[in-house]
Amino acid sequence: MLSLLKKEIQSFLNSLIGYIVIVVFLLVLNLFLWVFPGDFNILDAGYATIDPLFVIAPWVFMFLIPAVTMRLFADEKKSGTIELLLTYPLSDLQIIFSKYLAGLLLVVFSLLPTLVYYFSVSHLGSPPGNIDTGGMWGSYIGLLFLAAAFVSIGIFASSISENQIIAFIIAVFFCFIFHTGFESLSSIDIFQSIQGTLISFGINEHYLSMSRGVIDTRDVLYFLSLISLFILLTKTNLESRKWQ
C-alpha cells in the first residue's frame, strides 16, 4: 500500500498538476486576501483575523480538488492499466486509500504555506499576537475535513468515468451539492418543514460549526460518514468490473 501511495505522490510531483494546484490555490487566496479591495481583504478589515481565508478556500477547493482527483482512476481506465492495478496483492480498499491519501496529502501541502498568513496577521495585530488562535485552529481542522470529503467525492467521480473532464464535472457537481445544495433547497417554501434536516445534510453547516473553534463529535461523525460513503461507493464501482 505504501509503495502505491509513493507512486501516486511521485506521479503528482513528476507532472505539472500538483504544482499547478498549489500555485493556483495560493495565487487566488493571495489576490483576494491581500490585493483585491473588498470584504475579503485582510488589510482593509481593520482587525487581526484570517477568517476570509476560510470563507474563500472551500470555493477554491470545489474546483481544484476535482482537478487533482479526476485522473486517479480515470487515467488508469483510459490507459488500460486498471486491470493490472487490480491484480496487485492489495485489496480494493487499500488501492482506493492509497490514491485517496495521495490526493489528500497534496491538498495538505497546499494549505501549509497559508500558515504564513496567521503569523503575518498575528505580528501586524495591535498588540502583536492579538488573534483568535483557537478559532483559527478550529477553522483549519474544519477545512481539512472539508477537503477530505471533497477528495472522497473526487475519487468516486474518477472511478465512474475514463474521461478526466467528465470526472471533473461530476466531482464539481457533487461537491457543490453537498456543500451548498442542501442549504439552498432548505430555503424553498415546500421544504420549510424539514429545513433543519436538509441543512444538516450539507457540508457547510458542519464546516461553519467547526470554524467557530468548537470541535463537535456530531460534525466529526458527519464528515467521517460522508467520506466513508463515497469510498464505499468507489469500492462498489471497482468491484462491479469483476461482475462484467
Q: For 129-141, how does the pLDDT look when each residue is reduced to its tens digit (9 = 90+)?
A: 667 777 788 889 9
Which one is predicted more confidently, 80 or 50? 50
Q: What is the pLDDT of residues 197-234, one digit of tens each?
A: 788 888 988 998 888 777 788 999 999 999 999 999 99
For the ranges 64-68, 104-108, 121-125, which has the lowest average pLDDT?
Answer: 121-125
pLDDT for position 158 = 92
Q: What is the pTM of this model?
A: 0.90
Q: Determine contact, residues 152/230, Cβ cutoff 8 Å.
A: yes
**What b/e sequence results for 25-47 when a residue is b if at least 16 CB atoms lie within 10 Å of its CB, and e otherwise?**
bbebbeebbeeeeeebebeeeee
| Bond into 127 cis (ω within 30) | yes
Q: Determine contact, residues 102/5, Cβ cutoff 8 Å.
A: yes
Mean pLDDT of 155-159: 93
pLDDT for position 22 = 84
Q: What is the pLDDT of residues 2-58, one digit of tens each?
A: 777 777 777 777 777 778 888 888 898 888 888 888 777 877 766 767 888 898 999
Give how far Cα 115 sits from Cα of 45, 227, 240, Å.
19, 26, 43
Q: What band does 61 get if pLDDT is binned at 50, 70 and 90?
A: very high
Task: Report the C-alpha gap between 241 and 155 in whole angstroms.
Answer: 16
pLDDT for position 82 = 73
153 pLDDT above the threshold of 90: yes
CA-based Rg of the chain, rounded to a whole angstrom?
19
76 pLDDT above the threshold of 90: no
Mean pLDDT of 63-74: 89
pLDDT for position 220 = 93
- pLDDT cut 90: percent of the chain above it: 30
100 pLDDT above the threshold of 90: yes
84 pLDDT above the threshold of 90: no
Q: What is the pLDDT of residues 35-46, one digit of tens each?
A: 888 777 877 766
- pLDDT cut 70: percent of the chain above it: 93
